[in-house]
A and B are shown apart, each in its own frame.
Chain A
Amino acid sequence: MEYRDYYQILGVERGADQDAIKRSYRKLARKYHPDVSKETDAEAKFKELNEAYEVLKDPEKRAAYDQLGNNWQAGQDFRPPPGWDQGFEFHGGYTQVDPEQFSDFFESLFGRGGFGSQGFQHAGGRNRRGENTHAKILIDLEDAYKGATRTLTLRHSEIGADGRPQIRERAINVKIPKGIAPGQQIRLSGQGEAGLGGAGAGDLYLEVEFKPHALYHLDGKTVYLDLPVTPWEAALGATVRAPTPTGAVDLRIPPNSRAGSKLRLKGRGLPSKEPGDLFVVLQIALPPADSEAAKTAYRQMEKAFNFEPRAGLGA
């Protein structure tokens, strides 16, 4: 197992006082909180921070950790010296955090025997329904229209024969029902944590997130498509071909359309009992003046229009 440098993780000197440790933890916790952070490894970083803070915020655990000495390097192979914690009096394992998230290193020091054994005992009786668990699932827009299947790898903790929790990996296949929208949940009954004493397992909840799509974007069940049109199509009206998630359609552009005009295709948004709408948002694409004929056409427009787009700017 690897030695973990909790001071380095929290970015403080070994001699830092408790206030400095707390300040640094709070600052880093805000930075790496998985709900707040966009960093890719936020979750792992946040777990590491919590583990480090769990030890260093508690003067008893901190003193015991300091006892291991200053000569260890992060990542160095580590075995706790026998009787390393003698002479320390510990109280009550873990506070508020989930102890199953912690590293082997933490567990070897604080997780067994002595004070740590209390940490794994669940509150409540011997027969206890398993905890509900939560995970996120990323899907494509097309999946919401057609339904899809996914294979998920779940990490479960189970109480082993020796009475201690063990991590077990397990793959399950999930059918993603048609008509799912962002933020909705899929429930898999009995796929959460195992129960204790013959009680049933908890449920697994999957929160649905959509991958960004190259053409469409979503607001609830409403789907938006940005559709480029030419200035003359927008001005004179036209029938143009437009993609939709359920297949291309002929779309009538009314005369005198403007950039940002929205055309509604009722019921072509995400499917459900009350399906969402699809809005086509017009973008006016300007043809480049890259030939003499094109330049002439622009000069003719200049003559034909008495057009003052900056009239209201007062300059």
Chain B
Amino acid sequence: MTDKPTYMPASLLDDDSPITLGDLCRICGITAEQVLALVDEGVIEPAAREQGVWRFHALSIRRVRCAYRLNRDLGINLAGAALAVELLEEIEQLRARLRRLERMEH
């Protein structure tokens, strides 16, 4: 190993580059059926359907992984995990808002 920094090739997954169902499965390490179950629960929504192929926002990765971790680790079924994911995101937004309001008071 040398001290000179070498940068790993990095690519950004953003809204401009939706990912396929296969990508989403590979990235999250789950099956297509599991992804479909999450679509059924409304945890994620396909961003587009091109010639019968679903495309997902890269932002779905975070939700899928969170829902499956809750499902696996806490024994919550998918409907419950879907609710928890939404509530967690809401709490996150409220916390951010609270931080802002508290800052404004000073």
Interface residue ranges, A against B (CB under 8 Å):
26, 29-30, 33-36, 46, 50, 96, 131-132, 134, 149, 151, 172-177, 179-181, 183-189, 191, 203, 205, 207, 212, 214, 217, 226, 272-273, 283
Contacts and interface: CB of A to CB of B under 8 A. Distances in A.
A204 to B, nearest CB: 8
Given A36-B88, A183-B62, A205-B61, A191 B12 contact: no
A186 B11 contact: yes
Contacts of B12: 177, 179-180, 184-187
Contacts of A34: 69
Contacts of A214: 103
Contacts, number: 96
A228 to B, nearest CB: 9
Interface string B73-106: 1110000000010001000000010011001100
Given A34-B69, A173-B6, A188-B8, 16 more contacts: A33-B74, A36-B70, A173-B7, A175-B10, A177-B10, A179-B14, A184-B13, A186-B10, A186-B12, A188-B10, A189-B9, A191-B8, A205-B61, A212-B99, A226-B100, A272-B16
Contacts of A191: 8
Given A36-B88, A174-B7, A217-B96, A185 B73 contact: no
Interface in B1-41: 5-16, 26-29
B13 A33 contact: no
Interface of B: 5-16, 26-29, 58-59, 61-62, 65-66, 69-70, 72-75, 84, 88, 96, 99-100, 103-104
Contacts of A132: 26-29
B13 A26 contact: no
A253 B100 CA distance: 22
A212 B5 CA distance: 28
A181 B59 CA distance: 10
A270 to B, nearest CB: 10
Nearest to A217: B100
Contacts of A29: 73-74
A84 to B, nearest CB: 30
Closest 5 CB pairs of A and B: A185-B13, A173-B5, A177-B12, A183-B59, A175-B7
